[in-house]
Homo-oligomer: A and B are copies of this chain.
């Protein structure tokens, strides 16, 4: 998280000391962290959410560009769609481009690869994998959610007093808490105190999906039951056949 590294590069240095293959640096100033990673011989990736981010990634000579559209779960921008970002990045750079946000089926994978992505980042589908460490009640909530059931908001960050910059809200399942506050962030800011922070912490500990943030993207629509990760992978790998079909149909 670039905004945290601006204060203290220590955590990044500690990570690099472990000789990882890749470090993903996003959400803020990435020039210095990227230079440090490069000195350590570690590949860098960066999530981009708009054209300015792409420019920042190019200026920092980032190795792998992750186009993360506003459809994605968790923190990021809610500006450009995955498909538009992907077209922009693939035309602008020779670096490998990864597509992320709203991809949850073999069709989504096929689309991203046909659009020029070298790889695809699928997050939300794996939240409900049997192997995922989240609470069963959170998995159930994601499985029950449809395309219209996520919300992009800063409400959960404000309630927990997390120092994310305002341009990086998060997409989560809409719940009682977000319905109460997502439309009244200034009211929430007045209301946000130690007691509310404790209440959010407790809701996370209790795995209460109506109060706690359950981060998930629009691909929540495609998670319908708990499945082994291998089975989700097998489904997603249907992209090969879909690409071959599309190439035949439009030859």
Contact = CB atoms under 8 A, between A and B. Distances in A.
Interface of A: 50-52, 69-71, 79-88, 90-91, 101-105, 107-108, 110-116, 146-148, 217-219, 221-222, 239-240, 242-244, 246-247, 249-251
A161 B194 CA distance: 45
A79 B218 CA distance: 9
Contacts of A247: 243-244, 246-247
B83 A103 contact: yes
A112 B101 CA distance: 15
Given A81-B218, A107-B91, A251-B240, A148 B50 contact: yes
B110 A83 contact: no
Nearest to A106: B87
The secondary structure that dominates the A interface is helix
Nearest to A151: B79
B114 A218 contact: no
A221 B147 contact: no
Contacts of A218: 80-81, 84
B79 A102 contact: no
Nearest to A218: B84
Contact of A102 (B81, B112, B217, B249): B81
Given A81-B82, A83-B82, A114 B105 contact: no
B85 A147 contact: yes
A114 B116 contact: no
Contacts of A51: 146-148, 221
B87 A80 contact: no
A83 B111 contact: yes
A81 B79 contact: no
Nearest to A221: B88
